[in-house]
Chains A and B, each alone.
Chain A
Amino acid sequence: MSKKEKILLKASIVFAAVFAIVPAANAMHIMEGYLPAKYCVAWGVVCLPFLIAGFISLKNKVKENRRNLTLIAMSGAFIFVISSLKIPSVTGSCSHMTGTGLGAILFGPASVSVLGVIVLLFQALLLAHGGLTTLGANTFSMAIAGPVVSFGIYKLCQKINVNRRVGIFLAAFLGDLFTYCVTSIQLAFAYPSEAGGVGASAVKFLGVFAPTQIPLAVIEGILTVVIVIGLETYAKPELRSIGFFKNKKGETQDE
């Protein structure tokens, strides 16, 4: 990180901390115009440090080795595909997945926030899906909170020696679910119910999103594992270059 970048990062963190005191409200793909303005601003500001950190980390990864670009493009494309597919679920409504797990596992949560924002912007501008005013809140849930959980779960699974594929599945699965939990909480903050306040409201929103999302999160977990198997087979040099394999042993185990 250069000095300028460091200053920028620090400034944005301070900025975010100051603004985060303004009641922080949370929600995935909240519809355009459905969050009061102050929440829109607050979420946007909270996302800033992550985005800047992500931008810097992506830049460094490319500088380190230009070949890393291919996997970054791959993770971004994966989010593009996965989040464009609306899939029917057991509750009788459709929802879509986030696809951010793969990037989080390969590059860490900060980098994914940038990739996620690209997709959210695409959908907000062209599809009226999500929205510009709710971009901050949606970025936080889909491109920050979810990937952070995915990354944490993946690292935890590595530490306690869970089979790597199981770890990847759990990471993507829980990251996807958590995205929708955060969305529910974001909506609940903005719309506390009269009886019971934010808590009761969060339960109601969770009731809408969670049952729909569970089967989809399973699919997301499966697809992430499939693509990682593909990469493990065909893109060993790239994975090695981003430090995906911890040691030689891990590499040969899967062959």
Chain B
Amino acid sequence: MSKNKKTVILLLIAAVLIAVVPLFVLKEAEFGGSDDAGSVMVEEIHGEYEPWFTPVLETALDRELPGEIESLIFCIQTGIGVGIIAFIMGRFVERKKWTDSLGDNAFEVLREKQKS
């Protein structure tokens, strides 16, 4: 295994641990959003606060976005991102295989091939 691979694996394990450990350590916590914590703080400082504008989607639906639908849309967002990254990375990886097999001046070789 190359040094890079080891580093990547170690880093990923570290990232997962940082994310997962609080979940097991803090058994009582609710894990609400910190954006919501922000609005609670606004009310604490400012007194009762009525947001002066409701999100467009909520106005259109005439109610709050259902939780399941919200997670669906979050998943779509993740999906779009992962799809693009995976597609491009996949191409890169395949290309490296090809160019490696052609040797150091792979791109010149390919260009020559295209010409002929």
**Interface set of A (CB-CB < 8 Å, partner B):** 27, 29-34, 36-37, 70, 73-74, 76-95, 119, 122-129, 131-133, 183, 187, 191-194, 201, 204-205, 208-209, 212-213, 215, 218-219, 222-223, 225-227, 229-231, 233-235, 237, 254
Contact = CB atoms under 8 A, between A and B. Distances in A.
Given A33-B54, A127-B73, A86 B18 contact: no
A67 B93 CA distance: 16
A95 to B, nearest CB: 4
Nearest to A131: B55
Nearest to A70: B88
A125 B34 CA distance: 20
A119 B23 CA distance: 27
B34 A80 contact: no
A201 to B, nearest CB: 6
B45 to A, nearest CB: 5
B19 A208 contact: no
A79 B84 CA distance: 11
Given A215-B18, A235-B92, A32 B54 contact: yes
B51 A95 contact: no
A93 B26 CA distance: 10
A209 B38 contact: yes
B80 to A, nearest CB: 6
A90 B22 CA distance: 5
B32 interface: yes
A234 B33 CA distance: 37
Interface of B: 4, 7-8, 11-12, 14-15, 18-20, 22-23, 25-26, 28-39, 41-42, 44-46, 49, 51-58, 64-65, 70, 73-75, 77-78, 80-85, 88-89, 92-93, 95-96, 107
B8 A226 contact: yes
B89 to A, nearest CB: 6
Nearest to A218: B18
B51 A34 contact: yes
Contacts, number: 185
B38 A187 contact: yes
21 contacts: A32-B54, A33-B54, A70-B88, A74-B85, A79-B81, A81-B77, A81-B85, A84-B77, A92-B26, A93-B32, A127-B73, A133-B52, A187-B42, A201-B45, A208-B37, A212-B34, A215-B18, A219-B15, A229-B7, A233-B4, A235-B92
B55 A124 contact: yes
A160 to B, nearest CB: 22
B15 to A, nearest CB: 5
B38 A30 contact: yes
A32 B96 contact: no
Contact of A234 (B25, B42, B49, B93): B93
Contacts of A36: 52
B39 A31 contact: yes
